[in-house]
Each structure stands twice: as structure tokens, then as C-alpha cells.
Amino acid sequence: MNVRHTGPERKTRALGGLVIADFSRVLAAPYATMMLGDLGAEVIKVEQPGRGDETRTWGPPWVEDEATYFLSVNRNKSSVFIDLGTPEGVESARQLIARADVVVENFKPGTMKKFGLDYESLGREDLVYCSVTGFGAGSELPGYDLLVQAVGGLMSMTGTDQPVKTGVALVDVLTGLHATIGILAALRHRDATGQGQLVELNLLSVLLSSMVNQSAGYALAGAVPRFMGNRHPSIAPYEVFPTADRPIVLAVGNDRQFERLCASLDLPVDPRFATNTLRVQHVDELYEVLSARLLTKPAEHWFSVLDVPCGPVNDLAAAFDLASSLGLSPTVDIDGLSFVSNPIRMSRTPVSYRLRPPQLRSE
């Protein structure tokens, strides 16, 4: 059973009073609806009776009998279990949508239309309806994050000599954030005009947009990037370097910082590396020169003397410790479980943590 927790009253929540009918599953769209819930909306998650969201079984890790994957994107939601394969289930879904401001769904294209629950069939002038697909409403290709990272070009850059995916389902998360932005913009328009609208996103388009400088390099100049490992295509030094005991990252973003780096390492400013453009052209030679010096001392020594942005390659435990040491409060307790905090800070309408993720009920 869900328990309400201490947080801003409804009138002080940014999205207080909004009702979200959440037909989403797995990660991209559930991340969006959790963001809306954190900002104060009432989110009602629709799940299949007996099984629920697929991510309920995506473990390890587990907390008792619950998958942390499911827990990661479903707080601040209540749940209802509806079988859309029955007339009674479709009617229950219609009743839920009738009182909702926003509908969010990420079924295979055509699924909601089959039940008469798509945007056009519902015919509500004031409804904001967000639909998330893998490759657009006209394609039935499955929208799995790994697949989109591959066909969308990301994996062609992130490896060294073999394609490598990111350590998290990054395209899903980016799509969830874009969906949140689209929904909020549509709500702003509705507030001004009384008119809702259909908001559509697909994972492939979000990835192409989110690769920013790399995508722009291709669109504007026809540049096709290849495997870069930890390097940057336009900045140097901007990668991982070895030291006497463990790797560190140097992020040197301009010529003045590079001069400070050379001074910290007691190295002359080699003419080959005098400007960022030259450093990118001679990045292999630059790596050899810097690595030779950095290998002479352990990482902690360099952290104490380097006058440029640098840091260790932390694991997650060290990353959470760092955030805590900086006073960033990276976790929040809900019903005795430690959840990752929402990163948004708002002075008047702060996020709130009212509900732990809904538990699976036997129907």
C-alpha cells in the first residue's frame, strides 16, 4: 500500500492538481511520468493484471522481491491494474482518461488505436496526449535502447576498436526528458488557449538531436566520426590519462588552461601544442608527452598540484560519496528505501517525494 510522505502541499507543488493517466512501461516514458510526479502531478500508472510492468522482473539487483530497475522510475505513482484485452478494461481506461489532463503511452504503434484510446479516437479538445515510439508512429520496429544506440550511430563513436554501448540506457533517459519538456510546453499552450495536443517522440530522433556537436558536424559539414574512446573530437587534452597508480581525467578546455597545465607539470609549451587546433591535430603526440610525466607520480599528487579541471574515475559508490561531501543530498528516504534524489531544485515549488513505487498486487 502506498503511503503519502511529507512534502509540499498540493497548492505549492509546481504541477499540483494535474492528473496523468500513465500507460507507459519500461524506461523512457516512465522516467517522464516520474519527473511529472516529482513536480507534483498525480500519476496513475496502468499495468497489466498479474504481471505489471516488464521491469518488475528485471533483476538483479533486488530489494527483497522488488527489482531496483522498476523502483528507479516509478516513485510518486499510484497504480491500477487494467486488462485492455477486455471491454471492461477498455471502459475502465476510458474512465481514467476522462478525468486526466495528460495521457502518456509508449506501446507499439497502433496498439492504443486498436482499443479506441488513441488521441484522435478520444477526441478531447483539452487533452494533452504524449506518445513515445522507437522509430516513429509509422514504424513497428521495436524501440529497445541498445538497438537505437546501434542503428542511431552512437555505438560507432563510443568504442575504441569495437562498438560499445553506454553503461545505462541513455537514449531512453534522454527521450523521457524530451517527453517531459514536450508535455510541459503543451500544458502551457493549453493554459493559454484551452487546447490540448498530441506530443510525439521517438528514440531515434531524440538520439540524433542529443548527439549535438557530432550530429551537427555531419549535418553541416558531412563529417562522420569514428571510434574515439575517451577522446573529444574538438578539444585536447580532454581524456583519461594514466598515473603511477590509477587513471585520472584531464578536461582542458582552452589555451590558457593548457598553459596552466604545462606549468603545473613543469613542462614547456611545445609549439606543436600551442593552440587547441594544433593540439587536436597532434593529439597522439600530446597524449604521449603528458602520460610520460603523469606516470611519474600517483593520482593524489597530481590532484594537489594541477591547476586545471581534473578528477578520478570514480565508481558509483565514490560518486555518491562525492555528491554527499558537496552537500548535494544525492539520495532520499521513502518508506525505508533509499532513492536517488530528483536533481531539480526549485525555491518556491520544490519537488516532493509522496509515494514509493507501487507494489504488484494479485488481482
pLDDT of residue 1: 29
Q: Which residues contact 362 (CB under 8 A, 6 or more apart)?
A: 50
The DSSP letter of residue 11 is G
Write the CA distances from 273 to 250, 334, 348, integer angstroms. 15, 52, 48
Residue 10 confidence (pLDDT) above 70: no
Residue 4 confidence (pLDDT) above 50: no
Question: Which among 49, 128, 61, 123 is positioned nearest to 89, based on CA atoms?
Answer: 49
Domains of the chain, residue spans: 10-210
Residue 167 confidence (pLDDT) above 70: yes
3-state secondary structure of 345: coil
Residue 281 confidence (pLDDT) above 60: yes
CA dihedral sign of residues 295, 297, 303, 308? negative
* Span 125-137, average pLDDT: 96
- Active site positions, annotated: 172
* Span 221-231, average pLDDT: 92
**Per-residue confidence band for 12, with pLDDT thresholds at 50, 70 and 90:** confident
* Span 290-312, average pLDDT: 96
**Per-residue confidence band for 8, with pLDDT thresholds at 50, 70 and 90:** low
- CB contact at 8 A, 283 and 276: no
Question: Which among 158, 209, 212, 180 is positioned nearest to 102, based on CA atoms?
Answer: 180
The DSSP letter of residue 327 is T
Write the CA distances from 99 to 88, 90, 103, 196, 350, integer angstroms. 17, 15, 10, 14, 25
The residue ranking higher by pLDDT, 33 or 51, is: 33
**Per-residue confidence band for 336, with pLDDT thresholds at 50, 70 and 90:** very high
3-state secondary structure of 352: coil
CA atoms within 13 A on the CB side of 19: 12
CATH level 2 (architecture), domain 10-210: 3-Layer(aba) Sandwich (3.40)
- At how many degrees (to 10) do helices 255-265 and 283-294 cross? 30
pLDDT of residue 50: 87
* Span 74-93, average pLDDT: 96
**Per-residue confidence band for 235, with pLDDT thresholds at 50, 70 and 90:** very high
* Span 345-362, average pLDDT: 91
* Span 7-28, average pLDDT: 87
**Per-residue confidence band for 249, with pLDDT thresholds at 50, 70 and 90:** very high
**Length of the chain in residues, anyone?**
363
Cis peptide before 61 (omega within 30 of 0): yes
pTM: 0.91
Strands (E), 117-261: 128-133, 197-202, 238-241, 248-251
* Span 235-250, average pLDDT: 97
pLDDT of residue 2: 36
**Per-residue confidence band for 318, with pLDDT thresholds at 50, 70 and 90:** very high
Instruction: Kindly report the average pLDDT of the chain as a whole number.
Output: 94
For residue 260, what is its C-alpha cell?
A: 596552466
